[in-house]
Amino acid sequence: MRFVDLIEKKKNGYSLTPEEIHFFIEGYVAGKIPDYQVSAFLMAVCFQSMEEEETACLCKEMLASGEQVDLSSCGGVLCDKHSTGGVGDKTSLALIPMVAACGLKVAKMSGRGLGHTGGTLDKLESIPGFQTSLSMHAFLQQIKEIGLAIISQSASLVPADKMLYALRDVTATVDSIPLIAASIMSKKLACGSDCILLDVKYGEGAFMKDVQSAKKLAEEMIAIGTYFHKDTKAMISSMEEPLGNAIGNALEVKEAILSLQGKGSADFMELCLEAGSIMLLQGKIAKDKEEAYRKLKAAVSSGAALEKLREMIAAQHGDVSVIDHTDRLPQAKHILPIYASQKGYIHRIHAMRIGTLAMRLGAGRLTKDDIIDPAAGIVLQKKSSDIIEKGAVLAYVHTNRELEEGWLQEFYECYEIHSFAKEKEVLIQGIIG
């Protein structure tokens, strides 16, 4: 078998057999197939796509390229959650303690962020002392004892995905739905949970720019989950504007803590409750959505969810005092108010633009080697459909740097403000699976 023949076959729109996909992944990981040939193949996939069975086989071979986590010793139903990412998406920090407080076990391995803000690990590491690198024994023991853990992905999981993603990133082949689906699901399946909830985002601040594309990606990933006999569901949610109010690592941890104290922003809690209700149903913790909502709200109001976050921070060697004293999280030297230059109704806050401005303060990475400033970021005071008076505070900027020339003007350009009211857009477009 020659790989050039597989490139030709895919270029002409034909499906590869399981044997051919095995030959591809095994040969690439072993260094027998060069990057330039794989680049050509990835581009052919971008133009010709893949059939569902083909994508599932690709995921299977990627999964088999490395180790897989065995969670059977943890007991009970294990659930995992994945978000396709967005601006201000700190959902895992509040959601996972909420569902764990209801009795669901969550074993989550996360990656780092590249872009406007850090990933879940970067946010957690803004808590002094918090350790995201645990041994497998410690990871499993923590899940058994307190029911939740969030750690960094092991380098031995899905090496094929690491190699392919690095190549896709530099060959303009990232935006292929089969390649995205196989990449995400290979990592989720390798982590070993019984149930998977996918929060697939659409809009300006998301990778998928419209609802239709988000649904297509969700369906592809659910098909892979079904192929592997995993209970996989997807929630389609909007990222047209930042989620919640905080954008930036320590600031998002603070917002998650406030949310578990019952003081969170309405849109963030709406997303957590919807996602949590799906997870409780998957884990057979609730018999219907109404019961799931009641359990989740009770976990917050009773303080049980906040206690679960406290337990996780303590188990992973973080400073638990940040729960009661959020000022012990990293603080920026400068907290600058930005005042509204006009009166009116906010019609839109451009998520990606404002996320990029946060990144330029140090809240995110432009390259994988950039160092994140955990204190940097932006805290919004008003969201879409809110009315704002001229001179009122739109947002606070948290920074250890001097603002770049033109930064403030670019911030104002993130907002569309009009004299007439606008209805709040729907946050969650639907559930699939």
Catalytically active residues, by annotation: 82, 161, 168, 183, 187
Query: How many CB atoms are closer than 10 A to CB 188?
Result: 27
DSSP character string of 120-132: HHHHHTTSTT---
- Which of 199, 175, 228, 212 is closest to 58 using CA atoms? 228
Taking the C-alpha atoms of residue 402 and residue 388, their distance in angstroms, rounded to an integer, is 27
Whole-angstrom distance, CA of residue 391 vs CA of residue 341 = 6
Alpha-carbon distance of 148 to 5, in angstroms, equals 47
The label of the residue with tokens 């976050």 reads 309
Return the SS3 of 73: helix
- Rounded Cα distance between 403 and 399, Å, is 8
H or E element that contains 362: none
Number of alpha helices (DSSP H) and beta strands (DSSP E) in the chain? 16, 13
Let me know if 5 is exposed, middle or buried by CB neighbors in 10 A (0-12, 13-18, 19+).
Answer: exposed
SS (H, E, C) 89-114: CCHHHHHHHHHHHCCCEEEEEECCCC
Helix axes 266-282, 289-301, angle to 10 degrees: 120
Amino acid at 209: K
- How far is the C-alpha of 76 from the C-alpha of 143, rounded, in Å? 11
